């Protein structure tokens, strides 16, 4: 088995008496899509926060490309190649699509402390940003403020910004949320393409997408991973059925 790109070892975090993350371990290997599913309140967003560095664990370790990044903050992990998308679309709404993408490129390169030259006049920054926008099919929308984009377009802009980090691993929090069937299909195709860029840890409620994309599925319930395996294994796992999936979803 190849070396995992992202590895989480025995991660724990409590909020008071609530054990939000209770000894979670998982790996993300090159080329794969590893889906993380679980009912509401299972602790998926907390786990993502711990992996991305916005939350600090009480115990455990996060390793990115073989390096221990547990003590590093979110900005350091991002520059080390951890590309994260948010459950609620997180773009700078007043900035245009192109400005958002340029922001992502300069962030990834650690070039945010230039005070004089206009950011958009920098050909290298702008070229890279336009390439990422083209990759997600937003080229003809690049002068639109991100806040005026349709929901699905904003989701794709987020992916373009994640791509700008030259990621080693994607951590995507419900990229299909709030999308219609067409949007979800397009996004599924895009994610299937992105896995060649870097492996994806995918938190998603859309089971069609999970079953279509995932190489492995882990099921998180009450802060614990209760099962982990291929799509076929998870579909037939009796504990998973009991804890989480409605019977009809598995037919």
Residues at the contact surface with other proteins, assessed by CB under 8 A? 52-54, 73-76, 78-79, 83-84, 86, 90-96, 98-100, 102-104, 106-108, 110-120, 122, 125, 143, 145, 161, 164-165
The pair of three-digit structure tokens given for residue 37, joined into one six-digit string:
């599913």
Q: Radius of gyration of the chain from Cα atoms?
A: 18
Sheet holding 224-229, edge to edge: 82-85, 169-173, 200-203, 33-37, 216-221, 224-229
Minimum CB distance to other proteins, residue 234 (Å):
29
Cβ nearer to other proteins, comparing 96 with 218:
96
Nearest distance in Å: CB 220, other proteins:
21
Q: 120 or 189, CB closer to other proteins?
A: 120
* Burial of residue 188 (number of CB atoms within 10 Å: 0-12, 13-18, 19+): buried
State the greatest distance between any 2 C-alpha atoms of the chain, in Å, as a whole number: 62
Pick 2 or 113: Cβ nearer other proteins:
113
When the beta carbons of 102 and 240 are compared against other proteins, the nearer one is: 102
CA 67 → CA 5, 45, 195, distances in Å?
A: 9, 23, 21
* Least distance in angstroms from the C-beta of 149 to other proteins: 13
Nearer to other proteins, 108 or 213 (CB): 108
- CB neighbourhood size of 129 (10 A): 27
Query: What tokens were used for 4?
Result: 């995992």
The distance of closest approach from Cβ of residue 51 to other proteins in the complex, given in angstroms and rounded to an integer, is 11
CB of 98 to other proteins, least distance (A): 8
User: How big is the chain, counted in residues?
Assistant: 251
């Amino acid at each position: 088995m190849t070396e995992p790109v992202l590895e989480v070892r025995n991660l724990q975090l409590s909020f008071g008496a609530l054990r939000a993350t209770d000894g979670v371990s998982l790996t993300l290997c090159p080329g794969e899509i590893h889906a993380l599913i679980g009912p509401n309140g299972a602790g998926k967003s907390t786990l993502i926060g711990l992996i991305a560095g916005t939350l600090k664990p009480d115990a455990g370790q996060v390793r990115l490309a073989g390096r221990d990044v547990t003590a590093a903050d979110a900005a350091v992990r991002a520059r080390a190649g951890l590309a994260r998308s948010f459950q609620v679309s997180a773009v700078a709404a007043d900035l245009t699509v192109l400005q958002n993408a340029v922001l992502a490129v300069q962030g990834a390169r650690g070039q945010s402390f230039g005070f004089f030259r206009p950011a958009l006049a920098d050909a290298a920054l702008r070229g890279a940003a336009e390439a990422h926008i083209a990759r997600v099919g937003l080229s003809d929308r690049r002068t639109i403020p991100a806040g005026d984009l349709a929901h699905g377009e904003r989701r794709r802009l987020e992916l373009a910004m994640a791509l700008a980090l030259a990621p080693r691993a994607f951590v995507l929090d419900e990229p299909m949320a709030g999308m219609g069937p067409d949007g979800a299909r397009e996004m599924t195709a895009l994610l299937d393409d992105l896995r060649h860029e870097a492996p994806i840890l995918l938190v998603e409620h859309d089971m069609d997408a999970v079953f279509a994309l995932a190489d492995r599925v882990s099921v998180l319930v009450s802060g614990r991973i209760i099962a982990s395996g291929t799509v076929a294994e998870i579909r037939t796992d009796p504990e998973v059925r009991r804890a989480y999936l409605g019977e009809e979803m598995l037919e």
